[in-house]
Structure 1
Amino acid sequence: MLSVLVAASDPVRCFGIEALVAAAGIADACVFASSARMLAENMRRLDDYTAVVIDLDLKSVPAFDLIGRVRSLSPKLGVLALDLAEGADRTLRALRSGASGVVGAIATRDEMLDALRAVAAGDRFVQSSALTLLLDQISGQEPAPSHEGLSNREYQTLCLLARGMRLVDVAEELSISVKTASTYRTRLLDKLQLRSNVDLIHYALTNGVGVTAVAADRPHDSTPI
């Protein structure tokens, strides 16, 4: 039997996963963590779980950072990323951050259950639709977007600036200094060959960047994880 930790801000997603594993009878425990404080508490007892599901739209902490944190604390623990935006760049970023698998919004019941079983067993799982996006990009049919070359922090900064946030707000959301946020902005402008925040917003809209795993649209919670 599995013991699953679900890190998601939306309770509907949490309840959906709980109902799914309960109906399938594959888990004897399904614990939810939505706030940074709840996540911090569960980080201290990762050995209690056989799989962790992390919503890439998690609002309490940057999801890619959380994936890496879980991986560093418990290298053998299965980490499944939930990507409702279903973008090849987010899938790649999740896998590179340490996720064992990725499922998206159109995942079937069986795909979700197979994904949980796979990552809990130490295997990898990428949903068929996400795999198609990755293969198209790798084969050259779908060119890799320029923002794929950004670091996770630069990518998170791009997404927040694209929402019209000020640097001071970006710094607060990512728990960094304004100077560091400014440095990330300078780097991403250079890498994307852009000149201003207006250019950033246009780039984000054109390339579908905006739904992302960063701490956004929430009261700041500085609880460390």
Structure 2
Amino acid sequence: MGEIAQKDGLMTLVGRTDPDVVVLSQDIASDSDGAIVSWLSGEVGTAVILVAVSSGGPTVWRGISNGAVGYLLKDRLVTELEPAISAAEAGGVFVSPPLVKQMVRYMDDRFGEVGQVQQGVGEILRSLLPREQETLYRLAAGQSTEEIAKEMSIAVPTVRAYVSRILTKLGLRSRGEAVALAFRSGFYTSDQVKTLTADP
């Protein structure tokens, strides 16, 4: 475990500690226009959880698009850090509930045009086999690797193989990017979020 206050020491600390999860201030992440998050999640292979005092849909969206697997509000850190780390370790994505609606609303506003949605969904459907499509859907729904395996009645290594194929076929670097694409393209929409959250 290590801690830094500035981005300058981040690469050194990561190289020395080889962390599984990095909890990173959004202020530090935004200084590099997402390059730090992309580097950590892509080249280093570390799960990144971003933390901010406040945030909006565009900022959360950029963080997840760059590869972060979590986005927390600072005043909810005490209660949400543990489930966020657990979700990251299980291959899921965790976003503070107050930020989910903001992110979905932003994506609806920006990517809700019918032509863009159909084109994006069509590309995903053409690229992925049915079970891979279901895996992507469940990733976007926030399910962990273990939860996906249970729901699909398959082994955990099989889920991981599906995820690897999804990333390869769609030219992505991380699960966070896969989730972001699912939302951005319309493959997974806010209507589906509402349906899922309304279920008992």
Larger relative helix fraction: 2
- TM-score by structure 1 length? 0.43
TM (normalized to structure 2)? 0.48
Larger Rg: 1
Between structures 1 and 2, the one with greater strand share? 1
